[in-house]
Amino acid sequence: MLAHNVYFTLHDGSEEAIKKLLEACNTYLKDHPGVEYFAAGELVPDLNRPVNDLDFHVGLHVMFKDRASHDQYQVAPDHLKFIAENKESWKQVRVFDSTDA
């Protein structure tokens, strides 16, 4: 499997802006072929040990059954629409892809 983790830092960190991005994640990114697990949620600010990275507002976590599913997702119309409709709200996006051995 392939784990695709994306951390969004927004220009506007208000609850309304966070909710809007979470709704977009659920609308456009949830039901793609090859997705084994999907979750999108907001930062838990009181989990603030020295090792915790708190520099994001929304975390997206997608487990794909294989690399091919991930690659198809990247060019899927709903994924591209998600990016087009939301990218102006992003101050920073960090993507962490790894295998799940």
Alpha-carbon gap, residue 28 to 99, rounded angstroms: 23
Alpha-carbon gap, residue 79 to 64, rounded angstroms: 14
Q: How far is CA 6 from the centre of its chain?
A: 4
User: Residue 99: what pLDDT?
Assistant: 94
Alpha-carbon gap, residue 57 to 63, rounded angstroms: 20
pTM of the model: 0.94
> pLDDT tens digit string along 18-27?
999 999 999 9
Helix axes 77-86, 15-28, angle to 10 degrees: 170
User: Residue 100: what pLDDT?
Assistant: 79
Could you give the angle at the alpha carbon of 78 between the alpha carbons of 72 and 81, nearest 5°?
120
